[in-house]
Amino acid sequence: MNPLNLTEKARQAAQSGDYSELISLVPYARMIGVECIKLGDELVFRLPALEGNVGNPTLPALHGGVIAGFMEHAAQLHLIAAMGGQHLPKIIDFSIDYLRAGLYRDTFAQCQVWRQGRRVANVAITAWQASQSEPIATARAHFKVD
């Protein structure tokens, strides 16, 4: 896909608040089932419980890489929204802390832009399942935004 078309899709998603078409352009996000819910001005991302996302069938628990990929995509989409779709952020660095097992159930994530400069943006991501006060993972992502 042409980067200009992708930038236009990002701009349209940021204006309309509907990120489903933008998410559908990313094969991995589509495969793991990433969804975006707009609640007022806030974006909450949802990773539905899908059998293909299980890494430990004994518990069962989600694969750690799926959780990390979900959180990285959530941060990138959140940053697109925060910038009004003006740029497509490119990941520089991603660091995750796993706090609890991600059990086989829906998982949610919320992001916060800590700093957005002309070239780099820093985003904090929190993922939870049963209660937002009991996160299963936290992460920090740095993006190139120019």
More confidently predicted of 14 and 54? 54
Closest CA to 67 of 125, 146, 8: 125
How far is residue 90's CA from residue 92's CA, in Å, rounded to a whole number?
Answer: 6
Q: Is the pTM of this model over 0.85?
A: yes
- Model confidence at 128, pLDDT cuts 50, 70, 90, reads very high
Sign of dihedral through CA atoms 93, 95, 80, 104? positive
Question: Quick check: 39 pLDDT over 90?
Answer: no
Give CA–CA dist 72/75, Å, rounded.
5
The pLDDT assigned to 88 comes to 83
> CA 34 to CA 56: how far, in whole Å?
20
What tokens appear for 25 in the block? 């352009």
Domains by residue range for the chain, with CATH = 3-144 (3.10.129.10)
The predicted-structure confidence for 4-27, as pLDDT tens digits, reads as follows 567 787 778 877 888 888 888 888
